[in-house]
Structure 1
Amino acid sequence: MTEVSTMNEMTARPARSGGRGARRALRSAPDLGMLPALKRGLPLCEPMTPDEVERIDAASMAILEDVGVVFRDLVALEDWRRAGAEVRGERVHLDRGLVRELIATIPASWTYRARNPERNLPFGGPHSIFVPMTGAPFLRDLDDVRRWPTIADLNMFHKLAHMSPALHSTAHHIVEPMDIKVSHRHLHITWSSIRHSDKTFMGMTTSGRNAEDVMAMCEILFGAEAMEETPVVTGNCNGNSPLVWDETMLSAMRAFVKRKQPVLCSPFVLGGANTPASVAPAVAQLNAEALSALAYTQVVRKGAPAIYGHYLSTVNMKSGAPMAGTPEISLMNFMIGQMARFYGVPWRSSNLLGGAKTFDAQAGYESAMTMNAVLHAGCNYIWHSAGWNEAGMHCSVAKFVVDAEVCAMGYRMAEGIRWDDFDAGLAAVRDVGPGGHYLGHPHTLENFERAFFMPRLFDNNSIEQWQAEGAQEITARALAHARQLLRDYEEPPLDEGIAEALRDFIARREREIPAVDALNTDY
C-alpha cells in the first residue's frame, strides 16, 4: 500500500523513469512490506503532575495493602505465601515494598522474534506495535452481512493482517471459529496465526492447559532456546474487576511466564460499573489490579517479560451499555501511560474502538478519538487496532482494512517531524520564487511519495470524478480492496518439517482432548 512508501526504513523504491505515467503507476502500486515497529517522535501527553502520579501510586498501594486482591487459585495463594505476602483466605494483601521489589525485575524492553527474522520487532520504551482486534463472536463479512464466523473467516482475517503494512501482528482469534469445537479451538487458532503470516502473533489463554499447548506449538516453531532468549508470542490475562484474579487466567499466566513469554496483565474496566464513577479513583483501582498481576509474574519467574495491561470502557449510566471513544477513556489512557512509565514497564491499550452497529460515522469518530489518545499517551502494545465495532461483538472486514490504513496514518503522525530534507526544501523555495509552483521541481519529484500521506481508501477526488467511478462510499471501497488483497495473497513459506510437526501435534491433542462444545478446563 502507498502508505509504506512514506517510511524511511522501508526498502528503496525503483528508480523513477518514464515521466508522469510511470510516476502514477508507481504511486498506485501496492507495497505490502511490513512497517518497522513505530518509533514515536511526538511529545507525550502527560496531564498529571509528578505529585499527582505519586498520589495515584500511593492510593493503589494502599488498596493492595489494606483492601487486598482476591486470587481464586490455590497455586497462586501458595506462591504468594512463599513470597512473603499476607494471605487471608483467598484475599492477598501486598506490602508496597514487596510490590516495588517484584515489578523492578520486569524488563523495560525486548525484541519480539517473528518466524521471518526480517519482521522481528523492538518493543518497549519509544517503540510501539499495532495488533488487530480479537474475540469477536460475529463478523461483518465480504458482503457486509453480520453472521457467525468460521475457521475460514479467521484464516481470511489472518491473511488480511499479513497483507496490512501497519499491522505488526496477526493477534489470535480475531473472530471465534464457531465451526471448531471449543475445546479444540486454541489449536486451530494458533495454527492459523502461524500458517497464514510470518509476523508475530498472540497465544490463547482460555485455560492453563490450552496455554501450555500454545507454548508447545511455539517450541516446535521456534525452539526452546529461542524462547528463552526473547519473546515469540504474547498472551492476555484479564482480571475480574474489581480486584479479582481467577484460576483460569492465573494458570494461563503461569504457562506463559514460566517460558519467558509476556502476558498482558489486563484489568477489565467498565468505568462506573466495576470501578468508581470518576476517572482518578478508577485509575487508582485498575493500577492496583495491574500491579498485583505484574508482581505475580515475577513471583512465578523473576525477570520474565510482562506488560501493564487494561481494557477501558465507560458505562452509559442511563442504559448500562459500554461506550467507546469517550473523553474519559482518553484521560485514563494518558494517566495509565504515565503510571506505566513511572514503574518502568511497557504497557498495552486498545485502539480504534467503535460501538456502532455498522461501519458508519459513529464508528469512525469513536475510533479516531481513541487512536489519537493512545498514540499521544505513548502506548507500546496497541491492541484491537483493526476491525472492532459493536463494542467488540463483531469484526467488520470493511472496518478492518480501513483501520489498518488509519494505523499507517497514525504511524506517520506519531513518527514526528522529519528534518532530513529541510535544506533541500528551502533550496526549492529559492528556485521556484514568487508566483511559481513546485509540482515539477526535482525536490518534489524526489519526495512526493513520502511528503504527504496518500490514503488509498479515502476519496478526495471531485464529486464529478467520484460519481463517474460509481459513487462508492467507503464501505464498498473497503470491501473491494479486501477482495483484491485476498486475491493477491501468497502464503509465506514455512519449513515443511515444522509444518508437519505442528499438524501432528494438533492431531494428537485433538485425540487427547474431549471434543466438547462448552469450555472445559478440567482435562
Structure 2
Amino acid sequence: MTGGVARHARRGRDARKTLRQTRDIAMLPALRRNLPLTEPMDAEQIARIDAASMHILENVGVVFRDDIALEDWRRAGAKVVGEMVYPDRGLVRDLISTIPETFTYHARNPENNLPFGKDRAVFVPMTGAPYLRDLDDVRRNPTLEDLASFHKLSQMLPAMHSSAHHIVEPYDHPISQRHLRITYSSMKHSDKMFMGMTTSPKNAEDVLDMCAILFGEEFLETHAVVTGNCNGNSPLVWDETMLGAMRAFNRRNQPVLCSPFVLGGANTPASVAPAVAQLNAEALSALAYTQIIRKGCPAIYGHYLSTVSMRSGAPMAGTPEISLMNLMIGQMARHYGVPWRSSTTLGGAKTFDAQAGYESAVTLMALQMAGANYMWHAAGWNEAGMHCSMAKFVVDAEQCAMAYRMAEGIRWDDFDEALAAVAEIGPGGHYLGHPHTLENFQRAFFMPELFDNNPIEQWQAEGAADATARALAHARTLLAEYQEPALDQAVNEALLDYIARREREIPAADALNQEY
C-alpha cells in the first residue's frame, strides 16, 4: 500500500469511528426535489377536474356554518342563500391568485428556518393520537410526559422538520386547558417549527398569543412561524369551529392547511376522479376564504385522504387509489400555483408489523412522486391514527431521510473523480480501499441504522432483535442523549405566566382521562 493510500485508509477508519461516536442530529434542510414528478393527467384532464370543481361551487354550493363567514362572502360578492355559498369561478380564481406560492417558515432557532413551496418540502410528525405504543410497546393512554418525549425525538431526528403539536393526547391534563401545555411543549422541547391547535377559535388565539410571546407580535405580521389545520366536513361543509380558528390564524398572517377530511367512497363518490373533483372544490372554497380574511396571507391546499373498505366501512391506508389521488391533487395544486399538504407513512395495522411497513412505504413514495410540500403524519401513525408508536416513529423518520435522499436526485459532482478510479482499479479489482471510496463512503449510499443487513449468524449472536426491538432501543438512546435547546429565560417565564393566567380563566371542568 502506498503512503498516500495508507493515509486515506487511516482517514477512512477515523471517519467511520467518529461517525459511530458522534450522532449528527442537525436538521436536514428543506427538501429540494430534483426528480421529475409523476403527473398522470394531461392538460385536458386537469381542465376537466377544474371545470367540474367550479361547477360544484357555482351550482351545488358549499355550506359555511358560520355567520361571520357568510357575511364575509356576501361582501366579497358571492351568492349566499342561508348557509349555502355559491362562489362563481371568477371570484374563486381572483381570490386564490393572491396566495403566495412560496414563503419561509421561521423557527425559534434561525438555523432551522425552512423555505417552503414549489420544489421545497418538509416532513412533519403525526398528530392527534388518543393512544400510544410506548417504549415497552404497550398500548395505553398518553400523558404530557409522553408528548414531551415525542417532541424530544422530533428534535433529535434530522428528517423531522417540525415538532408538530399534540402528537399524542395528554390525558393527564384537562381538555379545556390542554392546548396551552401542548403548545408550550412544542416550543420548549424543540427549536424547530411547530403547529398550532385549532380545536376552537379561542384556543387558536391562545396559541397565537404564545407565538407572539416567543417571536414578537410584529414578527408574526410578516413571518410564518406556526401552522394551523382546518378540517372540512366532507361533503361540502365548513363549520364554525374551523372557520373561527382559520380567521384567528389568517388575521395574524399565519398559514392554515385547508383540509377536506376525505374518506373515499363514504363522503366522496366511489371513484377516483370524481372524488378529486369534490375534494378540489372543498379545498378551493376554503383557500378562497383565507384571502377574504386577509389578502396575501399564506395558505396551503390540504386534505386528509383515505379510502374506505367496501366490506367493513373502515378507513384504509396505502391503497393504489390513494396514491393516484395524491398524484392528481399535486397537479391541481400546481395548476393553481399554491403549496399543498398530504399525509405520509400512514398505516392501519395494530402493531408495527409488515402491514404497517408496506402501507407506510407506499404513501411515502407516492408523495415524493406527487411533489407534496407539507408531508404531515410523517412519523408514528398506525391503527388509522388511533395510536402513535415509539418504534414506528423513529423508523418512519429514518424512512423519510431515505426518501429525502432519493428525491434529491442524482449527484454528479464527483463523476469525473469516480471515473478516474475505474481506470486506476482496472479489471478484477475492488474499490473498498480506494481514496475516492474512503472520501465518499458516508454519502455514497444511505446506511440505515434501524435495518439489519448482517449475516444471520451475526444477527443471532447479537440477540436476534426484530425491527421493533431495534427501534425501541434506538428511541431510548435518543431520549437519553437529548439535550434541551435553550429557551430565553425571560421568554420562558412570560410563556409560563401566560399559561398560568389562562388556566385560571379557563374552567377545568372536563374530566381528566376523558376519551373521545
Q: How does the TM-score come out when normalised to structure 1?
A: 0.95
Q: 1:21 to 1:442 in 2, by over 3 A?
A: closer
Whole-Å Cα distance in 2 between the matches of residues 412 and 18 of structure 1? 28
Whole-Å Cα distance in 1 between the matches of residues 511 and 42 of structure 2? 48
2:16 aligned partner: 24
Residue 151 (structure 1) aligned with residue 144 (structure 2): yes
Which of 460, 470, 487 does residue 494 from structure 1 map onto?
Answer: 487
Task: Give deviations 1:221-275, integer Å, cap 9, x for gaps.
Answer: 0011211122000000000000000000000000000000000000000000000
CA RMSD of aligned residues (A): 1.2
Task: Give deviations 1:177-220, integer Å, cap 9, x for gaps.
Answer: 01110010110000000000000000000000000000100000
1:349 aligned partner: 342
Task: Give deviations 1:287-330, integer Å, cap 9, x for gaps.
Answer: 00000000000000000000000000000001000000000000
Q: Aligned with 1:409: secondary structure?
A: helix
Structure 1 residue 18 displacement after superposition: 4.2
Structure 1 residue 22 displacement after superposition: 2.1
Contact 1:17 1:23 in 2 (8 A): no
Whole-Å Cα distance in 2 between the matches of residues 441 and 79 of structure 1? 68
1:289 aligned partner: 282
Unaligned 5+ runs, structure 1:
1-14
Structure 1 residue 365 displacement after superposition: 0.1
Residue 62 (structure 1) aligned with residue 59 (structure 2): no
1:321 aligned partner: 314
Residue 460 (structure 1) aligned with residue 453 (structure 2): yes
Residue 46 (structure 1) aligned with residue 35 (structure 2): no
2:327 aligned partner: 334
Structure 1 residue 30 displacement after superposition: 1.6
Contact 1:183 1:518 in 2 (8 A): no
1:425 aligned partner: 418
Whole-Å Cα distance in 2 between the matches of residues 19 and 488 of structure 1? 27
1:508 aligned partner: 501
Q: Percent identity?
A: 75
| Aligned residue type for 1:185 | R
Q: 1:302 to 1:19 in 2, by over 3 A?
A: closer
Which of 26, 29, 32 does residue 33 from structure 1 map onto?
Answer: 26
| Aligned residue type for 2:455 | S
Unaligned 5+ runs, structure 2:
1-6
1:369 aligned partner: 362
Whole-Å Cα distance in 1 between the matches of residues 201 and 448 of structure 2? 43
Residue 475 (structure 1) aligned with residue 468 (structure 2): yes
The aligned runs of 1:372-387 (5 Å cut-off) are: 372-387=365-380
| Aligned residue type for 1:160 | L
Task: Give deviations 1:52-73, integer Å, cap 9, x for gaps.
Answer: 0000000000000000000000
Whole-Å Cα distance in 1 between the matches of residues 67 and 16 of structure 2? 64
Q: Aligned with 1:267: secondary structure?
A: strand
The aligned runs of 1:96-495 (5 Å cut-off) are: 96-495=89-488
Structure 1 residue 76 displacement after superposition: 0.4
Give the length in aligned residue pairs.
505
Whole-Å Cα distance in 2 between the matches of residues 16 and 168 of structure 1? 35
Whole-Å Cα distance in 1 between the matches of residues 435 and 165 of structure 2? 46
Whole-Å Cα distance in 2 between the matches of residues 19 and 185 of structure 1? 52
Contact 1:237 1:264 in 2 (8 A): yes
Q: 1:20 to 1:87 in 2, by over 3 A?
A: closer
Whole-Å Cα distance in 1 between the matches of residues 230 and 257 of structure 2? 6
Task: Give deviations 1:21-40, integer Å, cap 9, x for gaps.
Answer: 42331332321100000000
Structure 1 residue 488 displacement after superposition: 0.2
| Aligned residue type for 2:376 | W
Contact 1:16 1:22 in 2 (8 A): no
2:81 aligned partner: 88
Whole-Å Cα distance in 1 between the matches of residues 83 and 439 of structure 2? 65
Whole-Å Cα distance in 2 between the matches of residues 518 and 343 of structure 1? 45
Contact 1:114 1:200 in 2 (8 A): yes
Range moving further from structure 2, 502-511 or 19-28: 19-28
Task: Give deviations 1:110-167, integer Å, cap 9, x for gaps.
Answer: 0100000000000001000000000000000000000000000000000000000000
Contact 1:256 1:262 in 2 (8 A): yes
Q: 1:16 to 1:164 in 2, by over 3 A?
A: farther
| Aligned residue type for 2:17 | A
Whole-Å Cα distance in 2 between the matches of residues 181 and 195 of structure 1? 20
Whole-Å Cα distance in 1 between the matches of residues 460 and 470 of structure 2? 13
| Aligned residue type for 2:102 | S
Contact 2:163 2:186 in 1 (8 A): yes
Q: Aligned with 2:70: secondary structure?
A: helix
Residue 78 (structure 1) aligned with residue 77 (structure 2): no
Structure 1 residue 20 displacement after superposition: 5.7
Whole-Å Cα distance in 1 between the matches of residues 10 and 434 of structure 2? 16
Contact 2:9 2:438 in 1 (8 A): no
| Aligned residue type for 1:72 | R
Whole-Å Cα distance in 1 between the matches of residues 8 and 197 of structure 2? 46
Whole-Å Cα distance in 1 between the matches of residues 49 and 12 of structure 2? 58
Contact 2:247 2:293 in 1 (8 A): yes
